[in-house]
Amino acid sequence: MVHDGQHIIFTRYQTSAIELWQLDLQTGREVALTSHGDINTEPRYSPDDRQIAFVSTADSGHFNLYVAELAGDRLSGSRCLVPEHTSSIYRYTTLTPTIRFNPSWTPDGQHLLFVSNREVAYGTGDIWSVAVHAPGDLKNLQRRNGVARAAAGRTDGRRVLFSS
């Protein structure tokens, strides 16, 4: 994912973990943004380039949605956006804890769209939205039972593009 035209954020497998890294395109300098030994993946810069949304197994060991502040080549204030949830629906293909993945910022930077298998028995899940500064504002936007990717419309923010 390109940041401000000068940086790229990427993931790197390192010592039994997947960590977030940032590359400065002018100098070629690479800097580790995470180093906690978890699986950290799918990083996305916010529209104003001040935050990063990503998926991590930190805290619970399950894939969840996180947001952190980005200042230069440092992350701070990393926080889980959606509380842990155990499904009441039996799933024969996945664990009962709900997973969240594929975050996408809305153009105004106020919400994240993501895919989650919350209360979905088969398939990867539905399209959800969560307010970045009010995580209790969690909404199921589309029941699809098999969404692989979702992205907010980049022009006016009124449309969602997804593959199913």
pLDDT score of 96 more than 70: no
Task: Please tell me the predicted confidence (pLDDT) of residue 66.
Answer: 94
Confidence of residue 53 (pLDDT cuts 50, 70, 90): very high
For the full predicted model, state whether its pTM sits above 0.85. no
Least confident of 4-8, 18-22, 72-76, 86-90: 86-90
Task: Please tell me the predicted confidence (pLDDT) of residue 118.
Answer: 67
Return the number of other C-beta atoms located less than 10 Å from residue 16's C-beta: 7
> Rounded CA gap, 95 and 37, in Å?
22
Beta strand ranges found along 15-148 (DSSP E): 17-24, 30-32, 40-45, 51-56, 64-71, 74-80, 100-105, 111-116, 126-131, 134-142
